[in-house]
Every structure is written in structure tokens, then in C-alpha cells.
Amino acid sequence: MLEHLRRIGQTGGLARAKRLGNAALAAWRAQLQELPVERLIEGISREACCGLCGPGAGCVITGADPMSGDGCAHPVREGGPPPPYKNHQRIQAVYRAACTRLKIKPAEWR
């Protein structure tokens, strides 16, 4: 499924979703959140975001909130998710998995 989503993104799936409007874009982003956490954060490094993050697609760390937009919550570059997500279980799980992958301690909430 991950490869399928990447292929969709590379062949215009994200662009197509943008053309179709907010509902299609929200559906495309929701598909990403169905992935297991470990697959969702593939590609993250101290310098780079996850492979599925990007303009229009948004941040996979905060992507469980359909209203999260394009803001980045990278644990090293941005310090993690903002306070409104403190009690959001899925966002917490993705953030903590990213911290584990980067071998860093999760930051205290801002």
C-alpha cells in the first residue's frame, strides 16, 4: 500500500486530489493515516521529513487531524507537534515512533 501511495503521489494523485477539492484531498490524506506507524514515518532523518510528507500532503505526524494543514511537526527541525495535539493518541503515536527512529527523547509539549 505504501508503494501504491507513493506512486499515486508521483503520478499526480496529490495534484488530482487538489484539483478535485478539499474533500478529495482530505480522503487522500486519510488513506495515509491508515498505514502502520512504522511505515508512515519511513524516510525520516534528522535533516529530512518522512517520505510521505510535503506541501499539499502535509505532515504525516499531525496528519491524523484533517485540519492540520501543511505545518511541519518534525521532532528535530520543528520540536514536534504543537500543544493542541498533546492528547491526540494517533499523533502522539506517530510522533513517538519518529523520535524512536531518530533515537531522541520526545520533547516536552510547547
* Nearest by Cα to 52 from 107, 98, 106: 98
pLDDT in tens, 53-107: 887 778 999 989 888 878 899 999 999 999 889 899 999 999 999 999 999 999 8
CB 107 within 8 A of CB 95: no
Residue 34 · residue 62 · CB < 8 Å = no
Using the CB atoms, write b or e for 48-58: b if 16+ within 10 Å.
Answer: ebbbbbeeebb
pLDDT at site 13? 57
Q: Kindly tell me if the per-residue pLDDT of 18 is higher than 70.
A: no
pTM for the model stands at: 0.78
